[in-house]
Amino acid sequence: MSLLDRHRAVVPDWLALYYREPVEIVRGEGRHVWDAEGRRYLDFFGGILTTMTAHALPEVTKAVGEQAGRIIHSSTLYLNRPMVELAERIAALSGIPDARVFFTTSGTEANDTALLLATAYRRTNQVLAMRNSYHGRSFSTVSITGNHAWSPTSLSPLQTLYVHGGVRTRGPYAQLSDDRFVQACVADLEDLLGHTREVAALIAEPVQGVGGFTSPPDGLYAAFREVLNRHGILWISDEVQTGWGRTGDHFWGWQAHDAAGPPDLLTFAKGIGNGMSVGGVVGSAAVMNCLDANSISTFGGSPITMAAGLANLGFLLENDLQGNARRVGGLLIERLRAAAAKVPAVREVRGRGLMIGVELVRPGTDEADHQAASAVLEAAREAGLLIGKGGGHNTSVLRIAPPLTLTVAEAEEGAVLFERALRSL
C-alpha cells in the first residue's frame, strides 16, 4: 500500500493535500527541499510561511540539539530560562508598552487566546473581523474567519460582525482612490458600531494570508483605531504571517499603519520557530493580566521550542533578513509582474517583501479561476518550484513566500520557473 493510500485510510478527508500526486518531503537545506524520490525543489512556500530563515539552519538545529540534550519539556509550572529570554526579546520588539507575552503552540491557539483575553477584558463576546480573513481552525477562530472556504460551521461562541477594507481591488469600494477607500471603510465601521452593542475587539491581519496576500491602503487601521478608541474597543493585530520582517518595509505588519501606534494585542506564530511549534500573544499588562482564573500551558513555551525561537530570531536580526526581504522581494515582484504581463489570465500581482500573490481569472473577466491556479501549481511543481495557493474567490491566488534568506540568484531562478508554469496555461 502506498503512503498516499495509508494517509487516506487514517486521516480525515478534509485534511487537504497539494497536487494530483502528493509530495513526500524528506529533507531540506537552505531554500531547497527534496522529495522521497530524490528530486530537488526550490521552496517558495516554506511550509506555509513557517520556514522563515532557511531549512536546516545550523544555528537553529544546534540550539535544538543542545537543549534536547539538557531537557526537552517541563511545562509553565516551572521557571523556564529560554522562555523568559525569548519573551523579553519579543516584548521589546513588539512596540507595546509594559508588554507581557504568553506562548502557545500555533497561530490558531494564539488567536484563540487573544479572543479570550479581549472578551474577558471587555466583558462581551461581540467581535469585529475583516471580510476575507483567516485566523485559524479552532472553534472560536473559524467563527471570526471571513473566508467561507475555511469556516466549516456557523455555530460560534462569539457574535462576529464583518468590516470592509481587507481587500483593496475587489468589492464595492474597489474603484475609489486610496483616500476615499479608507474614508468609505471608516464610514462602514462607524455605521456598523451604530447598530450594535458593546464590542470587545477588532481582529485583523495587516496583510491577509490565506485570503490571497491582499491588504488595504497604508493607514486604514490607523483610521480604524481612532474609531475604536472612542468606543473603548481593542485592536488585535494578527501577525501570524506578516511578522518578523517578512513584508520588508516593516518588522510588523501593523507598522504600515504607524499613526495608529501599537495594537492592544499582537499574535504571532509560524516563522519565529522556523518549523518548531511556537505561537503566542503579546499585549499590554492591563489586558494580559485580566483573567481571574488559573491557567497554564503544557506545551506552550517548552524549553526546546524556545531555544529554537531564540536562535532563529537572533539569526534574523543579526543578518538583517527584513532588509533582505525588502531588497530581494522587490526584485522578485518586479520579475513576476514582467512575466505575468504576457499572460491574459493574470489579474494582479501584489505583495510586500517576500509575501507575493498572483491572482488568476478567466481572461477578459474578473471571474476567479481556481482551475487555472491549480494547473499552475502543478506545472510549477513539475518545473521544480513549490508555491502555495489561496484567495477568497475560489482559491485562485498563487502564494509566494520563500525563506527570508532567499538570494538574488534564487529569486531570478524562481521567477523563470514560475513564468514557465504560467505559460503552461
* Domain co-membership, 175 together with 265: yes
* Domain co-membership, 105 together with 91: yes
Which of 284, 302, 318 is the endpoint of a domain? 318
Residue-wise DSSP of 48-74 = HHT--S-BT-HHHHHHHHHHHHH-S--
For the full predicted model, state whether its pTM sits above 0.85: yes
* Domain co-membership, 118 together with 241: yes
CATH number for the domain including 218?
Answer: 3.40.640.10
* Domain co-membership, 67 together with 147: yes
* Domain co-membership, 207 together with 173: yes
**3-state DSSP: the chain helix, strand, coil percent, rounded to 5?**
40, 20, 40
Say if CB 164 and CB 202 are below 8 A apart: no
* Domain co-membership, 84 together with 42: no
Q: How many domains does the chain have?
A: 2
Which of 272, 295, 318 is the endpoint of a domain? 318
Q: What pLDDT is recorded for position 395?
A: 83
* Domain co-membership, 35 together with 65: no
* Domain co-membership, 195 together with 231: yes
Q: What pLDDT is recorded for position 393?
A: 66
Q: Give the other-Cβ count within 10 Å of 339's Cβ.
A: 20
Which of 303, 318, 333 is the endpoint of a domain? 318
Torsion of CA 48, 53, 56, 62, to 10 degrees: -130
CATH number for the domain including 377?
Answer: 3.90.1150.10
Set of cell numbers at residue 181? 477607500
Set of cell numbers at residue 346? 493574470
Nearest C-alpha neighbor of 278 from the set 98, 60, 43, 115: 60
Maximum CA pair distance of the chain?
Answer: 62
Q: What pLDDT is recorded for position 120?
A: 97
Per-residue pLDDT of the chain (425 residues; tens, 9 = 90+): 999 999 999 999 999 999 999 999 999 999 999 999 999 999 999 999 999 999 999 999 999 999 999 999 999 999 999 999 999 999 999 999 999 999 999 999 999 999 999 999 999 999 999 999 999 999 999 999 988 888 888 888 999 999 999 999 999 999 999 999 999 999 999 999 999 989 999 999 999 999 999 999 999 999 999 999 999 999 999 999 999 999 999 999 999 997 768 999 999 999 999 999 999 999 999 999 999 999 999 999 999 999 999 999 999 999 999 999 999 999 999 999 999 998 999 999 999 999 999 999 999 999 999 999 999 999 999 999 999 999 876 789 999 999 999 999 999 999 999 999 999 98
Q: Looking at the chain, how many residues does it have? A: 425
Q: What pLDDT is recorded for position 148?
A: 83
* Domain co-membership, 39 together with 118: no
For residue 295, what are the contacts with CB-CB under 8 A and spacing of at least 6?
A: none
For residue 156, what are the contacts with CB-CB under 8 A and spacing of at least 6?
A: 139, 140, 143
* Domain co-membership, 100 together with 166: yes
Q: Give the other-Cβ count within 10 Å of 263's Cβ.
A: 31
* Domain co-membership, 338 together with 307: no
Domain of 351, in residue numbers = 3-56+322-423
Nearest C-alpha neighbor of 276 from the set 126, 64, 96: 64
* Domain co-membership, 195 together with 233: yes
